Structure 1
Amino acid sequence: MRRWNGWGDDTITYPLPASAARFLEQLIGPGTPPQDVRLEEAAAAVPPSRLPVHPLVLDSPIERIFHARGQSLPDWITLRCGDIHPLPDGVAYPSTESEVRELIGYAAAVGAGLIPYGGGTSVVGHINPLPGDAPVLTVDMSRLSGLKRFDDISHLATFGAGITGPDLEAQLRARGFTLGHFPQSFELSTLGGWIATRSSGQQSLGYGRIEKLFAGGKLESPAGSLELPAFPASAAGPDLREVVLGSEGRLGILTEATVRVTPLPESENFHAVFFPGFEQGLSAARQIVQARLPLSMLRLSTPTETETTLALAGHEYLIGLLERLLALRGVKDNKCMLLLGFAGRDAVIKTSRKEALNIADNCGGIRAGRTLGSRWHKNRFRTPYLRNTLWEMGYAIDTLETATGWDNIPAMIEAIESALRSALENEQVHVFTHLSHLYPYGSSLYTTYLFRLASNPDRRKVASETLRRWQTLKMAASQAIVAQGGTISHQHGIGTDHLPYLPAEKGKLGMAALAGLCKQFDPIGIMNPGKLV
């Protein structure tokens, strides 16, 4: 069963080795395990629904709690302290497009806000009801999730937008194809959510971001239906797919999506290379991606992230052996790790792997083979479960991301990490970064930061102080990103958390254009109000 106040399936855990626990305690101090509220207690505090009765709308406290928040750290704080307000007043599970239109009409008639809900994995507040007098209806798209059409000649597949990553891939792999879109939230997130937030998958270097994969679909809005034909290309005016991409539920509900799929690769493998310092690793990564080699993934960790990754991995004997072997080759304290992914035909992989590893060799890289890369690939969707483990130990962990040009990457990393390390008085913050999505012109930067939960016998005081710490950290890092000229979001979207910083990126006219689009599709303002604009 899905956890109601944390990540993933409640039968899956991510145990932390004792050596890793000692590592964290040395960095930021001992954690104090919190006293989380039980689901029954939270349900008892749910107020009555403000929505009139409708046959498609459920209003039980449990349904409303399960759809009340996403997966951001503030969401976790709210859920685990039990002070979950506001909540949606009802949850609907449409199974047809006509039921989606019926629910939009119902929301308009009763003056309710309407929040589209995919997998509930947003980390920036996309699906959260906002305070106000109007009732809120959350529309869960999980029943609109089937494969509708498959074209193995044009390599196009059409799905209900509520399909999750594993179900989508299972349908395609049975036919010898893949979408190749693997965000870290893959196991829970949905195709419609990927499109609505302009998602990036871990292997987007090879398969492309969701805007490349999204070919067309259907959007149901208060103003009517929008159909987007799946042309291979078109010069017929502005591309309306781009209007839907990143719209975050403000324009309507995406009910159907056609995506461009790829035949399954003959083989796939991942390699690790270590560099004596970040400068050498950065140079190698840039040269490899600018060579336009057909890789599926590049991921470069800073020295601090490399150290943290190895420390949290456990397997002390094997990691110790690796450290000694690298030290013999002159790669010691400031080492950084580059992961390279290859997917496709065997002959192509052989050639591109040789070229990429030769570039790494010329930049001082030491090849470490496939073991670490394969282990990362095996556990890549298990890593988010570490958040549950750390919380129960008294630690909070959160991430943020941006993207910038190659010339600005070192300064951007320094600005973000310095802002986070110095943001809290009397508390240590552990910060580390990797480059996760690389382009010939620049890269995304993905920063993780850990700090201690507040310690207090009063659960609400723990929540209040921990939330204050997060707000201080998030603001410091966001301001650093804007000041340094990066995008406020490369892959997480805007929601509510990034809303204050969007005008700096879009400008006054750009924000007016976005508001105009919302008004055109949603003239009465019921679609996911308060998000994006």
Structure 2
Amino acid sequence: RYGRIEQLFAGGRIETLKGTLDIPTIPASSAGPDIREMILGSEGRIGLITEVKVRVTPLPAHESFHVMFFPSWDKARTACRKLVQNRTQLSMLRLSNATETETQLALAGHPGMIGLLESYLGLRGAKDGKCMMTFGVTGSKRQCRNALKETRELCREFGGIYTGKQLGDKWAAKRFTMPYLREALWELGYAVDTLETATDWDNVDKLLNQIEENLRNQLNEKKELVHVFTHLSHFYTQGCSLYTTYVFRVADSYEETLARWKTLKTSTSEIIVNNRGTISHQHGVGKDHAPFLPVEKGELGMLAIGSLCQTFDPAGLMNPQTLVQK
């Protein structure tokens, strides 16, 4: 509903080493390449944004989050694709695979209530391998009611089991606090990181499986287990993003822990860019992802990006080695 930053960024002012670049707030234009898009994703290589104007949306009258369970990944993924391609008016959609679903339910606490939920879902045919879909409806009462009705009717065709708002409310309450678990896990001797990409619908399962299999097995020689799970989010009619979390044990030294992370991160990044995925759907490029960008953009694309950086910063002073490693 609210859009990503590239949709919200309407214009602004950028101070560059070649002078001030002003971008007017025009709703849409076909007048040549979009200068606004040049700034988006440039990660400071062109200049500093000193003034920004964004598109805003009025606060909705109503907003609520709901949870649906599916008996299998195939049915769940297909239902999500149908919802998006039918343009059902959902403000948020997230689909956890079976391992993430199991992990999320374990982290929810209240084992008695979760046990009852598991029993109910089992009776309805969603037991081992079940997947959890969280979705939001936003707008007027009528809009929310219609979106919820349409979602439930479509998901029912794929074995979807609606469980109400309780788990959705829990997600909304904890959505910005879950990242803080990283520090608690570190204290317990575990490192956690995430990586993400996006790909077309026909490649989602293949790429997801390749990512998870690589992360899960990459430390086998060290006899170390890696806990891996994924959810889909940021859905598009063409495809969606894949957001993967992986947890591994901290080594006896910082250097060995860093080496384990580099092994996991680098090998998986290579798989992503060589199998129709973007090196970054939402985390940006920076220095970690810069070596993988040429695979996605191609030789001519990288020449164009490098020429743009050269135009605004010929000495390479602005955020060097980021995005373009020259």
TM-score (norm 1): 0.60
Alignment of structure 1 residues 345-494 onto 2, 5 Å:
345-424=140-219, 425=221, 426-455=223-252, 462-494=253-285
Match of 1:510 in 2: 301
* Counterpart secondary structure, 1:207: coil
* Counterpart secondary structure, 2:251: coil
1:319 aligned residue (111, 114, 119) = 114
Q: Deviations over 1:304-334 (max 9, x none)?
A: 0000111122211111111111111111111
Task: Indicate the structure with greater helix content.
Answer: 2
Matched, 1:284 2:75: no
Match of 2:39 in 1: 244
Instruction: Please tell me whether Structure 1 or Structure 2 has the larger radius of gyration of its CA atoms.
Output: 1
Distance 1:501 1:254 in 2: 26
Q: Could you tell which deviates more after superposition, 341-350 or 220-229?
A: 341-350
Matched, 1:500 2:291: yes
Alignment of structure 1 residues 206-285 onto 2, 5 Å:
206-285=1-80
**8 A Cα contact 2:10 2:26, kept in partner:** yes
**8 A Cα contact 1:323 1:332, kept in partner:** yes
**8 A Cα contact 2:185 2:191, kept in partner:** yes
**8 A Cα contact 1:223 1:523, kept in partner:** no
Name the amino acid aligned to 1:521: F
* Counterpart secondary structure, 1:496: coil
**8 A Cα contact 2:274 2:295, kept in partner:** no
**8 A Cα contact 1:218 1:225, kept in partner:** yes
Distance 2:152 2:269 in 1: 35
Distance 1:234 1:473 in 2: 42
Q: Give how far 1:449 is off.
A: 0.3
**8 A Cα contact 2:67 2:163, kept in partner:** yes
Distance 1:368 1:250 in 2: 48
Q: How many residues align?
A: 322
Distance 1:327 1:217 in 2: 54
Distance 2:124 2:87 in 1: 29
Q: Deviations over 1:76-108 (max 9, x none)?
A: xxxxxxxxxxxxxxxxxxxxxxxxxxxxxxxxx
Name the amino acid aligned to 2:290: L
Distance 1:229 1:372 in 2: 43
Q: Deviations over 1:408-460 (max 9, x none)?
A: 111011100011111112100010000011111100000000000002xxxxx
* Counterpart secondary structure, 2:66: strand
CA RMSD across the alignment: 0.8
User: Could you tell me the percent identity over the aligned residues?
Assistant: 57
Q: Give how far 1:509 is off.
A: 0.8
Distance 1:221 1:444 in 2: 33
Distance 2:125 2:151 in 1: 21
**8 A Cα contact 1:274 1:331, kept in partner:** yes
Distance 2:168 2:128 in 1: 21
Q: Could you tell which deviates more after superposition, 301-310 or 350-359?
A: 350-359
**8 A Cα contact 2:10 2:55, kept in partner:** yes
Name the amino acid aligned to 1:272: V
Q: Give how far 1:238 is off.
A: 1.2
Distance 2:210 2:274 in 1: 9
Unaligned runs of 5+ in 2: none
The structure 1 segments of at least 4 consecutive aligned residues displaced by more than 4 Å after TM superposition are none
Distance 1:264 1:492 in 2: 26
Name the amino acid aligned to 2:175: R
Q: Give how far 1:395 is off.
A: 0.2
Unaligned runs of 5+ in 1: 1-205, 456-461
Alignment of structure 1 residues 45-64 onto 2, 5 Å:
none
Distance 1:358 1:463 in 2: 52
* Counterpart secondary structure, 2:76: helix
1:328 aligned residue (123, 141, 150) = 123
Distance 1:526 1:501 in 2: 22
Q: Give how far 1:235 is off.
A: 2.1
* Counterpart secondary structure, 2:297: helix
Name the amino acid aligned to 1:260: R
Q: Give how far 1:529 is off.
A: 0.4
